């Protein structure tokens, strides 16, 4: 199966931002994405420490039918989960681009697998391309005339230029708008 990657940002790019009020809502949004994955996709997850990248991957895994608990791969670099299709979950926080290239972590992964990468900016040019970018930030609110980071709320931005994913993101956006 061919990987759904973008080497350049040509064509229509869709970027939608959602607000998740709880970790459960972040997992729910991830599950909606996971239900549409066919295999071959590369998902880049950006965000500061504790923003909810692994929580999003837990939802993606649920959408792929993965039953086992999904844990952060921070100290093991990669976790593989068997589902419909397999999910390869990477965390590059402790690596440099050179480390990633030399380790061969991104090689020999079956084309039908979904790849989710936390801290993708560490990989630089080692990444072959991407299907979806998911950026997660702490949601900020005004409290007593001050901007305060919410403990549980997250601002989640999903971006893609792959035609099928542009349609999926728009459908999720419309569904969320209709049900909020």
pLDDT at 32: 93
DSSP character at residue 69: P
**Lookup: tokens for 150:** 């919410």
Any domain includes 30: yes
Indicate the pTM of the whole model.
Answer: 0.88
Does 153 fall in a domain?
A: no
How many domains would you assign to the chain? 1
pLDDT for 140-162, tens place per residue?
Answer: 877 888 888 888 899 999 999 88
User: Where do we find the tokens 């999003």?
Assistant: 56
The two beta strands, 114-118 and 42-46, are: parallel
Does residue 52 lie in a domain region?
yes
Q: Over 50: is that where the pLDDT of 8 sits? A: no
Whether 112 maps to a domain, the answer reads: no
Rounded CA-CA distance 36/50 in Å is 26
- CA 85, CA 83: separation in Å to the nearest integer? 5
CATH of the domain at 86: 3.40.50.300
Instruction: Give 61-119 pLDDT, tens digit per residue.
Output: 999 999 999 999 888 889 999 999 999 999 999 998 999 889 888 888 888 999 999 99
Within-domain flag for 58: yes
Residue 70 domain-assigned (yes or no): yes
Q: Give the residue from 55, 30, 51 showing the smallest Cα distance to 140.
A: 51
Instruction: Indicate whether 170 belongs to any domain.
Output: no
Is 121 contained in some domain? Answer: no
Domain with 76, as residue range(s), is 24-103+126-136
CB atoms within 10 A of CB 66: 19
């Amino acid at each position: 199966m061919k990987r759904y990657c973008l080497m350049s940002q040509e064509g229509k790019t869709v970027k939608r931002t959602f607000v998740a009020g709880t970790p459960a809502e972040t997992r729910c949004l991830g599950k909606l994405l996971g239900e549409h994955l066919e295999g071959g996709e590369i998902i880049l997850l950006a965000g500061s420490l504790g923003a909810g990248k692994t929580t999003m991957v837990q939802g993606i895994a649920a959408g792929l039918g993965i039953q086992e608990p999904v844990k952060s791969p921070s100290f093991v670099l990669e976790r593989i989960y068997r589902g419909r299709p397999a999910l390869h979950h990477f965390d590059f926080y402790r690596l440099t681009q050179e480390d990633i290239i030399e380790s061969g972590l991104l090689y020999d992964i079956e084309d039908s697998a979904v790849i989710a990468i936390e801290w993708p900016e560490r990989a630089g040019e080692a990444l072959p391309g991407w299907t979806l970018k998911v950026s997660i930030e702490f949601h900020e609110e005004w409290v007593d005339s001050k901007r305060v980071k919410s403990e549980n709320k997250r601002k989640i931005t999903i971006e893609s230029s792959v035609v099928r994913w542009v349609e999926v993101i728009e459908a999720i956006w419309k569904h969320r708008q209709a049900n909020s």
